Amino acid sequence: MKRITILIADDEIEIADLVALHLQKEGYHTVKASDGQSALQAVQTHAIDLAVLDIMMPGMDGYEVTRKIREQHHFPIIFLSAKTSDMDKITGLVMGADDYMTKPFNPMELVARVNSQLRRALQFSQSTATAQRSVLEKGGLVIVPDQHSVTLYGKPLELTPKEFDILVLLASNPKQVFSTEIIFEKVWGEAYFESGNTVMVHIRTLRKKLGEDVNKNKFIKTIWGVGYTFND
């Protein structure tokens, strides 16, 4: 059985040690980093399955670390930060994080969220493989789920894992309308708890990357009062 390795990047040694202790009790292998640069080095030298990142780290903050990770990797990222505003959380999610917890935190809740993210990642990978969808195409948009790639009129699009998962969900079920609750539960793999704003933020940034703010080709259609559908 594959050993699951979790990266913990935090310049507060006590917090990194506490998180590592609880994750190790769950049977996970942990790798610790005290700054952004060493976190990226850990990603290059270890097979990381999930990362727990602080935002305010010396040299390179968690946002930049996430941006660089997302250039090559799609494993789940959880922000664990003292920054508590809604805008901080939204920024973290838009940058590519999968979850966001604020300090002080309950270590057992963090473990539960780690378990949930790893379970969701595995389930999504298995469902994609089972579906055996080679290519999804629509009006210049080409989605290759197995390669986690999207092109629009031949130009590659850089999508975060959640944006990609939302797009695949909608494009795989054209004409079906998904509420924000269902999108959250299918993509995040968790019960919906007033997380509609999270879904809307991701769809807004996804639409912008699809160029829907400058052209008339609307791939994602809003059904007011109901949810979203892929405009096949």
Per-residue pLDDT at 95 exceeds 50: yes
Once rounded to an integer, what is the mean pLDDT over residues 81-103? Answer: 86
Alpha-carbon span 155 to 220, nearest angstrom: 19
Question: pLDDT (tens digit, 9 = 90+) per residue, 109-143?
Answer: 999 999 988 887 776 655 555 444 567 888 788 98
Once rounded to an integer, what is the mean pLDDT over residues 5-14? Answer: 95
Structure confidence at residue 132 (pLDDT): 45
Alpha-carbon span 144 to 156, nearest angstrom: 11
Residues 12 and 43 placed together within one structural domain of the fold: yes
Residue at which a domain ends, from 70, 93, 125: 125
Structure confidence at residue 194 (pLDDT): 57
In a domain? residue 177:
yes
Alpha-carbon span 148 to 73, nearest angstrom: 10
Per-residue pLDDT at 53 exceeds 70: yes
CATH of the domain at 29: 3.40.50.2300
The token pair at 80 is 């664990």
Per-residue pLDDT at 214 exceeds 80: no
Once rounded to an integer, what is the mean pLDDT over residues 55-67? Answer: 91
User: What does the mean pLDDT of the chain come to?
Assistant: 85
Residues 57 and 162 placed together within one structural domain of the fold: no
Distances (CA, A) of 3 to 50, 84, 113, 164: 12, 33, 18, 26
In a domain? residue 51:
yes
In a domain? residue 9:
yes
N-terminal to C-terminal alpha carbon distance within the chain: 41
Which range marks the domain in which residue 200 is found?
136-230
Among 100, 96, 99, which Cα is nearest to 85's? 100
Per-residue pLDDT at 222 exceeds 90: no
In a domain? residue 130:
no
Residues 111 and 146 placed together within one structural domain of the fold: no
Per-residue pLDDT at 192 exceeds 70: no
107 or 213, which is more confident: 107
Residue at which a domain ends, from 125, 149, 169: 125
Residues 90 and 144 placed together within one structural domain of the fold: no
Structure confidence at residue 196 (pLDDT): 56
Give percent of the chain above pLDDT 70. Answer: 88
CATH of the domain at 156: 1.10.10.10
Cis bond before residue 104 (omega within 30° of 0): yes
Q: How many domains does the chain have?
A: 2
Once rounded to an integer, what is the mean pLDDT over residues 88-100? Answer: 86
Residues 217 and 145 placed together within one structural domain of the fold: yes
Structure confidence at residue 36 (pLDDT): 93
180-188 vs 196-209: helix crossing angle, rounded to 10: 80
Residues 163 and 107 placed together within one structural domain of the fold: no
Tokens 């009129």 locate to 153
Alpha-carbon span 128 to 100, nearest angstrom: 25
Residues 121 and 145 placed together within one structural domain of the fold: no
Among 34, 30, 35, 33, which Cα is nearest to 20's? 30
User: How many other C-beta atoms lie within 10 A of the C-beta of residue 51?
Assistant: 27
In a domain? residue 131:
no
Mean pLDDT is highest, among 32-36, 133-137, 175-179, for 32-36
In a domain? residue 91:
yes
Q: 159-192 as b/e, with b when 16 or more CB fall inside 10 Å?
A: bbbbbbbbbbbbbbeeeeebbbbbbbebbbbbeb
Residues 144 and 169 placed together within one structural domain of the fold: yes
Once rounded to an integer, what is the mean pLDDT over residues 60-70? Answer: 92
Is the alpha carbon torsion for 158, 161, 163, 164 positive or negative? positive
Q: Which DSSP letter does residue 46 get? A: S
Residues 109 and 157 placed together within one structural domain of the fold: no
Per-residue pLDDT at 181 exceeds 80: yes
Residues 11 and 111 placed together within one structural domain of the fold: yes
Once rounded to an integer, what is the mean pLDDT over residues 39-61? Answer: 92
Structure confidence at residue 88 (pLDDT): 85
Mean pLDDT is highest, among 46-50, 138-142, 193-197, 227-231, for 46-50
Structure confidence at residue 140 (pLDDT): 84
